[in-house]
Structure 1
Amino acid sequence: MRRWLPHTLAGKFLVLQLGVVALVLIVAAAVSARQSQAQFRTNAADRILGAAESLAANPTVRDRIGSATAAADLAPVVESTRIQSGTSVVLIADLDRTIVAATDPTLVGTRLTLPDDSAWSGRAWDGDLALAGDELIVAGTPVFATASSGDPAAVGLAVVGEAYPSAWSSLVSDVPEVAFLLGLASLAGLTGSFLLARRIKKQTRGLEPAEIATLTDQREALLHSIREGVIGVDPGGRITIANDGARDLLDLPENCVGRPVDELGLEDDVVDVLAGRAAGVDVVVLHRDRFLVANRRTARTAGREGPRSGQAIGTVTTLRDRSDLIALQRQLGATRSVGETLRAQTHEFDNQLHIISGLAQLGEYEELREYLATITARRAQVDSTIRDLIKDPPVASLLIAKSSLAAESRVELILSPDSHCDRLGADLSTDVGTVLGNLVDNALDAVANSAEATVTVEIVSDPAQVRIVVADSGPGIPQNADDLVFARGFSTKSSTVAGGRGVGLSLVRMICLRRGGWVGVRSGQDAATAVGAVFTAVLGRVAGDAADADPATDASEREQERA
């Protein structure tokens, strides 16, 4: 149906330019024809007016215009005037406006009607006139008869007319010039089309328009069909691409494309990743109540020849929502902690059963009774203390499990008598368990293989928040590392584990900030009671936007607030 249309970019440009040239030529031809008509009228008016004046001054015309044989007598005169002037019609009329002589015999005896009556009053006139079906430009000059005395009197009117040339004849007369202009314009269009197509194909990587359209359709379909967020940022820090997934995950406005990343009201961690200030693979960032995994890569031009080959044109960041996975990991961490505690208790119970079995075999029943009373009273005392101070079952069970784990590791876990925690909501209880479990685990790792190792835990809840303080007797934190300990990937442990270290405290910080609280650490080596490190975490009862809390707040201010 459209097979005659060219498929290449150069061919399409050529057809377009030739169409424009043809349109211009048509308009130019119309203007040229109109100008030819105007020029013809100007030139012909002077010529026919001179012929009419010469005819009116002819003595024969003056003498014979009123005779009965005027038509025959004046016929040679009017025909001679027509031939000499090159006009179309020459005629003579008397004052009664009757044509008495004409080059066209059919006009003799007919009435001459002119658009302007001033011609009959002795004044020369020129204008357009329709005569015998032809459109003419005519000029009329009065014929005066010489009187013996007095002024000459007008006795008739000499009229000379010439027909307007047709528009086609005007165009035909300009054919050589039009053909030359058409050829010149076609050559210019062909050359311009070739150069323009070459320039555009260079900028479009050699792709034809159909290929560009297909590529654009595929790009749009791909970007808006995937669930993950995709954001493109140019070297100037402005967003160039944002698919539906990215708009939903980051709550971006509809007009985000073209705006700088720093002006979209995103969290600092997200802005650092998008702007390239934070590097890494599977970087976890927090946006409001979502945990997002971000990966950022640099986009470069295709590997073609030229100065722009391989040049960086921006970055592409992919975002995945891992809120559900993070919540599952937190619950799994709590479950794993309980499992480790049960395993530690298994070892402890095995040792106790061995002692009980040995005392029974030796017949030391009195010693056996005292041993059982001791371990029962100690276990009951620990459980009773935790249950009296901590009313939330999940948190209380976690403390009991951690107490058994600490005992297995020969670490004394002390619950501060100032602690009191009422029953918490399900979400808050889960977050408190996650924070408490991570802080206690870090404290147990810090005091491992230490003499007289102790870990002190204090939990205080009120209607607005929950405060958790975990202190240990370990070596403390490195100097000037108060902020770094909460960064993802930072760890003071030299061993490696699957997935990497430095995750627990980063997760603690995210949870605290998400609940409008904060978390901080200070060294207690200079205090009256020497302790290695004191971690303080505050969680709001209602989860909200991350507060503008600084994790590096001065330790003395936090200690005053805790007190």
Structure 2
Amino acid sequence: MDPRRWSLARQLFALMALGLAVVVAVAVAAAYVQARGTALDAARARALAVAFAVAQAPEVREGVTAADPSATLQPYAESVRAGSGTDFVVVMSPAGRRFTHPDPARIGQQFIGHIEPAAQGRAFTETFTGSLGPSVRAVVPVLAPDGGRPGRVVGLVSVGITLESVGRGLAGQVRGLLAAGAVVLAACAAAAWLLSRRLRRQTHGLGAAELKAMYEYHDAVLHAVREGLLIVGRDGRLELANDEALRLLGLAADAVGRATSDLGLPAALGAALGEGAERSDEVHLAGDRVLVVNAAPAVWEGRRLGTVVTLRDRTDLLALTGELDSVRGLAESLRSQAHEAANRLHSVVSLIELGRPEQALEFATAELAGVQELTDRVVGSVGEPVLAALLLGKAAQAAERGVDLVPGALDVPADVADPRDLVTIVGNLLDNALDAALSAPPPRRVVVSAVRVPDAGGGEELVVTVADSGPGLDPADADRAFTRGWSTKPDGGLVGRGIGLALVGQAVHRHGGTVTVSSPGPADDGTPGAVFTVRLPL
């Protein structure tokens, strides 16, 4: 099996096991070398000590000058060798002729090794291959009983321990070292296995190549997806946010890791992100954007990890929807007027057939005058065609609903503001005014005006006023009227209720303007309800 296809945990375990085996092997080898050096040093010291003891023994000093040195020295040397645990004790003449040897056949032969320093009166040690094989040996001079006189070396003593004996003594230590190394290796391997097992759980058994590919795909998807994606931990902290989410919420890149309550988001949106509750297509406002929020718990093997939140930008869609509603209202108005025109035409034709042409002319011109007056006034005073179409459409819609939409002072130049923002502002204010007027007893009336006036800075501003004959607005609710979710109308299970005035407020503030609401009470024009005033700098 190709090791490159192993899981990351398995690769890590294999590398750690191999590394530990190498480390333990090197440590055991180093310990063996140190133990062997210590054993050789101990063998040299023991051989030197025994050699000194033998060289200073009276029996040896007297025996080396006897007529038959071997007769007295051989039994003594063998007893010392057996008692000291050395491999040979050789007493010889200053010229190197053996008086004693563990092998009696070698007595009288020449000693194999260096003796020159000892013959000159200096003790020394060396490792040399003699008749018994390689050995660690010490050579010590034997001085005459009158040792005070220099140069009186009457014999030499060599005591040695073979390397084979040193190795036998070291074998026990080697077994101990190997056992300790095996125990250490087993303990480290067990720790590595536990670590790899934990890593396997955390990486779900994936290999390094798979993790690399997953990360690359994950990062590519996060940057490429056109929806905002957030992951909020169980503690309410932002764990992940893609580029689109940061853009939609107006957050900096360092927002990840902070609590959702500290991100500076609107209270409703911050609560929606931090509570971790499941949400479906909730509409929220963030800055100048309208966002659709969906949230679902992130669960892995029955364990909740946090909450996955997706964000979709519906700002442009709602603006286009407002324009579409205006056009649709105008189309419906034109369709209704077409039916009414057909009815009026039949009436005019019938009056002519009945021989009453004067009444037919009066009837036709009276109906056309009112409609033409409204159209001429709006088209002549409103330079923005989209806003003019909106006002005409809302006037027809109001007439169908039994509300009298009366244009007040109108003076709107072209390109005064973004047409979509004008539709958002005026359209939502008129919709709310029509609903408010319908909730009050007749006469039902809405008055709209839009004029240019000088501002305090020497420039001009556009003042849009929408007043209705509805029940008015409680002063306590005036400050909350432009908050997302606030509405005087029942929800009825609809998603997005209470967003119209919030959109108005954001559109006005985006242009640096102001919007206010008041309930002045009964007025001469029959609009005692709420009065909304918008001021937009030109």
TM-score by length of 2: 0.75
**Is the CA contact (8 Å cut-off) linking 1:21 and 1:185 kept in structure 2?**
no
Match of 2:320 in 1: 328
Task: Give the 3 Å change call, closer, same or farther, for CA 51–219 of structure 1 in structure 2.
Answer: closer
In the alignment, residue 521 of structure 1 is paired with which amino acid? V
| Gapped regions of structure 1 (runs ≥ 5) | 304-309, 542-563
Q: Is 2:412 the counterpart of 1:421?
A: yes
Number of equivalenced pairs: 519
Deviation of 1:26 after TM superposition, in Å, equals 3.2
- 1:455 to partner: Cα distance: 1.4
Superposed CA deviations along residues 94-139 of structure 1, whole A, max 9, x for unmatched, are 77xx64448588864875466xxxx77756x555545669875444
Which residue identity does 2:334 align to in structure 1? L
Structure 2 match to 1:385: 377
1:340-372, CA deviations, whole angstroms, 9 ceiling, x for partnerless residues?
322343354345334423432332222333344
Asked whether the equivalents of residues 472 and 531 of structure 1 are also in contact (C-alpha less than 8 Å), the reply is yes
Specify the alignment match of 2:86 in structure 1: 87
- Determine the structure 1 residue equivalent to 2:519: 523
Instruction: Describe the shift of the 1:237–1:77 C-alpha distance in structure 2 as closer, same or farther (beyond 3 A).
Output: same
| CA shift in 2, pair 1:192/1:216, >3 Å | same
Instruction: Give 2:530's aligned amino acid.
Output: A
Distance 1:360 1:274 in 2: 71
Q: Which residue of 2 aligns with 1:294?
A: 293
Structure 1's 278 and 208: CA in aligned 2 closer, same or farther, altered over 3 A? Answer: closer
Alpha-carbon contact 1:99-1:111 (below 8 Å) kept = no
Tell me, yes or no, if the aligned pair for 2:349 and 2:360 is still in contact at 8 Å: no
Q: Among residues 529, 533, 537, which one is paired with 1:532 in the alignment?
A: 529
**Distance in 2 (alpha carbons) for counterparts of 1:218 and 1:534:** 58
- 2:423 is aligned to 433
Pair 1:145 & 2:135 matched: no
Q: Distance in 1 between matches of 2:15 and 2:491?
A: 71
Partner residue in 2 for 1:550: none
* 2:232 counterpart of 1:242: no
Q: Secondary structure at the match of 1:532?
A: coil
Task: Name the SS for the 1:318 alignment partner.
Answer: strand
Aligned-pair CA distance for 1:373 = 3.9
Which of 304, 307, 329 is the matching residue for 1:315? 307
* Structure-2 separation of matches of 1:229 and 1:170: 75
Residue 432 of structure 2 corresponds to which residue in structure 1?
442
How does 1:75-154 map onto structure 2 within 5 Å? Answer: 82=81, 85-88=84-87, 90=89, 99-101=96-98, 108=111, 111-112=114-115, 122=121, 125=123, 127-130=125-128, 137-147=136-146, 151=149, 153-154=151-152
- Tell me, in whole angstroms, the C-alpha distance in 2 between the residues paired with 1:12 and 1:278: 40
Task: Quote the residue 1:158 is aligned against.
Answer: 157
Are 1:341 and 1:401, in contact at CA under 8 Å, matched by a contact in 2? yes
Q: Give the distance between the partners of 1:171 and 1:394, measured in 2 at CA.
A: 103
After superposition, the CA RMSD in angstroms is: 4.9
Q: Residue in 2 aligned with 1:259?
A: 258
SS at match of 1:345: helix
Task: Give the drift of 1:420.
Answer: 2.1
Name 1:307's counterpart in structure 2.
none
In structure 2, the residue corresponding to 1:524 is in which secondary structure?
coil
Q: Relative contact order, CA 8 A, sep 6+: which one is greater?
A: 2
Give the fraction of aligned pairs with identical amino acids, expressed as a percent.
33
Work out which of the residue numbers 332, 336, 357 in structure 2 matches 1:340. 332
User: 1:157-176 residue pairs with structure 2 within 5 A?
Assistant: 157-164=156-163, 169=168, 172-174=171-173
Distance in 2, matches of 1:507 and 1:451, equals: 29
- CA change 1:216–1:337 in 2 (3 A) is farther
Answer whether contact 1:146 1:153 (CA < 8 A) is retained.
Answer: no
Cα deviation 1:511-549 (Å, max 9, x = unaligned): 3344344444322327787521112234566xxxxxxxx
Q: Which amino acid is 1:142 matched to?
A: P
In the alignment, structure 1 residue 470 sits paired with structure 2 residue 466: yes
Residue 56 of structure 2 aligns with which residue? 57
Distance of 2:242 and 2:165 partners within structure 1? 65
- The equivalent residue for 1:481 is 477
CA distance in 1, matches of 2:276, 2:11: 47
Change (3 A) 1:131 1:229: same
Asked whether the 8 Å contact 2:292–2:313 carries over to 1, the reply is yes
Q: Is the 8 A contact 2:35 2:170 kept in 1?
A: no
Aligned pairs for 1:271-286 (under 5 A) are: 271-276=270-275, 280-286=279-285
- The 2-side partners of 1:438 and 1:428 are apart by 15
Q: CA deviation at 1:317?
A: 0.9
Paired position in structure 2 for 1:456? 447
The offset of 1:480, in angstroms, is: 3.8
Kept in 2: contact 1:392–1:424 (CA 8 A): yes
Q: 1:435 to 1:67 in 2, by over 3 A?
A: same
Amino acid at match of 1:272: A
Which structure 2 residues correspond to residues 226-241 of structure 1 after superposition, within 5 A?
A: 226-241=225-240
Please say if 1:26 is aligned against 2:64: no
For 1:210, which of 193, 206, 212 is the aligned residue? 206
Tell me by how many angstroms 1:61 deviates. Answer: 5.4
Contact 2:421 2:507 in 1 (8 A): yes
Closer/same/farther in 2, CA of residues 220 and 491 from structure 1, 3 Å limit = farther
The equivalences for 1:182-221 within 5 A come to 209-210=205-206, 221=217
State the shift of 1:474 in Å: 1.6
Alpha-carbon offset, residue 444 of structure 1: 2.2
Larger displacement relative to structure 2 (162-171 or 429-438): 162-171
SS of 2:306's partner is strand
1:437: Cα distance to partner? 1.9
Q: What residue identity is the alignment partner of 1:228?
A: E
SS of structure 1 residue aligned to 2:467: strand
Q: Which amino acid aligns with 2:282?
A: V
Distance between the aligned counterparts of 1:278 and 1:339, measured in 2?
43
How far residue 491 of structure 1 moved from its aligned partner, in angstroms, is: 4.3
The one-character-per-residue Cα deviations of 1:167-192 (angstroms, maximum 9, x if unpaired) are 97566424664676577668867987
- Decide whether aligned partners of structure 1 residues 294 and 350 sit closer, same or farther in structure 2, where only a CA change above 3 A counts: same
- Structure 2 CA distance, aligned partners of 1:171 and 1:6? 43
Q: Which residue of 1 aligns with 2:456?
A: none
